[in-house]
Amino acid sequence: MEITSNIVDTPPRDAATVLVLRQGEQGLEVLMLKRHADSKDLGGVFVFPGGKRDEADGSPEALDALKVDVKLLHAQLGEPQLPLAHAASLFIAALREAEEECGLQLEASDLQAWSRWITPRMPSMMSKRFDTRFFLARAPHAQTAVQDNHETTEILWSTPRQALLQYWQGDIVLAPPQIMSLSHLCLFNSVDEAMQEAAQRTPPVILPEPFDQDGMRVICYPGDPQHPVSQRALPGPTRLHFRNKRFEPEGGLDALLHLKS
């Protein structure tokens, strides 16, 4: 995992990501995909299905194909300044990416807005900036997720706790948004709990603030003393430090799993 200090001055591009959930024997499980090792950004990293919004996602044909009131979709995002059609196109982008990357055919009504991540000007691990809406969705019955063997090379269904354990043991590589999202999902015992919690709140806006401390990259989140936003947006740690060739919080794995020391 290479950390850069490159500054990206271009505006963030709209994107959408889906956290596909299912109920397993050990509780809630989430779908992750391994990015192709040759990918320019996040090669070899496990991510959730997703990608940038295309202009075609906002076409009249794409909007007409939706089977849900676009006003309801717009309300979910908690972004009143967005035009209705643009808000709906973000849901369409999420559906398209889920089908392209892992073969799952979802409906807009399956999606529940979860969070919004905006890449900082110093992305640390990427060469581009994105304004990404994260959605939750139940895994559809009678469908099997498969990697596309182009952008993604492996499929992983895991409880959030187990995925973080694998990360800590060095078995998989994760980027900060995935680390923090998995940590958040550790608080839920079931898909129902997570979906209900998401439906009852406005998606938090997470604009990470990176800085270097003693030659080490640190990424802080709302609620951290170094972040300009004093109110927390996420449960768990408010900053991650890049050390031991990975991002980790001060409290170690226990902090990510919400275990009291």
DSSP 259: -
Superfamily of domain 13-256 in the CATH hierarchy: Nucleoside Triphosphate Pyrophosphohydrolase (3.90.79.10)
Q: What is the pLDDT of residue 256?
A: 96
pTM here?
A: 0.94
pLDDT for 56-92, tens place per residue? 999 999 999 998 999 999 999 999 999 999 999 999 9
Amino acid 93 reads A
Q: What is the pLDDT of residue 37?
A: 67
- Rg, Å, the chain Cα set: 18
Q: Where are the domains of the chain?
A: 13-256
Share of the chain above pLDDT 90, in %: 84
Share of the chain above pLDDT 70, in %: 97
What average pLDDT score do residues 95-112 get? 95
d(CA 11, CA 140): 35
- pLDDT surpasses 60 at 261: no
**Which residues, including other chains, have CB under 8 Å from residue 43's CB and lie 6 or more apart?**
35, 36, 37
